Amino acid sequence: MKHKILITGGAGYLGSILVPHLLSLNYAVTVLDNFLFRQASLLDCCSHPDFAVIRGDCRDPELMRRLLAGHDSIIPLAALVGAPICQQDQFAASSTNRDAILMLLRLASRQQQILVPITNSGYGIGEHDKLCTEESPLRPLSLYGRLKVEAEEALLQRDNSVSLRLATVFGISPRMRLDLLVNDFVYRAINDSAIVIFEGKFKRNFIHVRDVARAFAHVLENFQEMKNNAYNVGLSEANLSKLELCKVIQRHLPKFVFLESEIGEDPDKRDYIVSNEKIERSGFQAKYSLDQGIQELIKGYQVIRNNQYGNV
């Protein structure tokens, strides 16, 4: 019998990479998605005999109860991702990012494995030059971060669960997002050749979208050893400030000009660096560098020429 996985929000930015990756590893995958952004990102999976897709809402208890039956693992990706979109629609953010997870925890059997993507933005503002580990205090600054932290708190009180605290994701996906920091900066570098940065010394960690998919597969393959824990998932050499990120981009696009403004502020006040040692000790190692991701984005932006690809 094949291991069966239910993925909510599986047609989103991450799911559009994760689903075909899991199918290639011989898992059977069912996707539930409301196709909010009218994406057609999973069409290539439809010919796969172990793929199923349902249009629906992860907040519907009867639908979720019916879908949970027969699945070994659940990966709830469905979420409003990012501080701006959560602030725009606080009810949808709360009901999807937190309440749907709490409902899932009530409906799932104790034998079913649950793997939830959280966010390392929960660290908020870290201590200067001190890496945030999974033991560091969580001090989220945005509604998005608070909801994810609350979901994780409930999750880790349950057996057979894993939380992945994802760094800021970058890279090309069939359901593209231009509003993520690396993706946004590279898009601006290509199309505007310049950017003005606010509070350019604020740091965060980054991770390629394909490495996030690999991290989920790694947890599935090593679940018994890894369960009941939270893990930071990031690229260890990519704890960078916005100014440092711009310098990396400039190596690939020499005409790119960036300036830091002394007036104004960034509404996203996150500033921290992250240790990924815990998941690396389990055997996972990020494979895709920031330079590889930038090169991939440069090629992808020859195809993408408008800003319909975003969450805001």
Give the whole-angstrom CA distance, residue 211 versus residue 233.
Answer: 9
Torsion sign over Cα 126, 177, 312, 149: negative
Q: What is the DSSP string of 134-176?
A: TTSPP---SHHHHHHHHHHHHHTTSSSEEEEEE-EEES--SS-
Give the up-direction half-sphere exposure of residue 132: CA atoms within 13 A in the CB hemisphere.
Answer: 31
pLDDT of residue 173: 97
One-letter identity of residue 152: E
Domains located in the chain, CATH noted:
4-171+205-235 (3.40.50.720)
Two structure tokens written together for 189? 């570098």
Closest Cα partner for 114 from 151, 145, 85?
A: 151
Which residue has 């793929």 as its token pair? 51
Residues 6+ apart with CB under 8 A from 206: 167, 168, 169, 170, 181, 182, 234, 235, 238, 240, 245, 290
Query: Which residues does residue 44 pair with via DSSP β-bridges, in sequence order?
Result: none
Query: Residue 271 has what DSSP assignment?
Result: B
Give the whole-angstrom CA distance, residue 273 versus residue 240.
Answer: 8
Give the whole-angstrom CA distance, residue 252 versus residue 186.
Answer: 10
Cite the DSSP H helix spans in the chain: 15-24, 61-68, 83-88, 90-93, 100-107, 143-155, 181-191, 209-221, 223-226, 242-252, 277-281, 290-300
pLDDT of residue 118: 93
Q: What is the pLDDT along the chain (312 residues), one digit of tens a residue?
A: 899 999 999 999 999 999 999 999 999 999 999 998 888 999 999 999 999 999 999 999 999 999 999 999 999 999 999 888 999 999 999 999 999 999 999 999 999 999 999 999 899 998 888 999 999 999 999 999 999 999 999 999 999 999 999 999 999 999 999 999 999 999 999 999 999 998 899 999 999 999 999 999 999 999 999 999 999 999 999 999 999 999 999 999 999 999 998 776 666 778 999 999 999 999 999 999 999 999 999 999 999 876 566 665
Two structure tokens written together for 178? 């231009």
Question: How far from 107 is each of 13, 60, 78, CA to CA, in Å?
Answer: 26, 11, 16
pLDDT of residue 152: 96
pLDDT of residue 24: 98
Give the whole-angstrom CA distance, residue 67 versus residue 69.
Answer: 5
Whether the model clears a pTM of 0.85, i.e. scores above it, the answer is yes
For residue 9, is it left (φ>0), alpha (ψ between -120 and 50) or beta?
left
pLDDT of residue 267: 65
pLDDT of residue 123: 95
Give the whole-angstrom CA distance, residue 299 versus residue 285.
Answer: 25
pLDDT of residue 270: 85
pLDDT of residue 37: 85
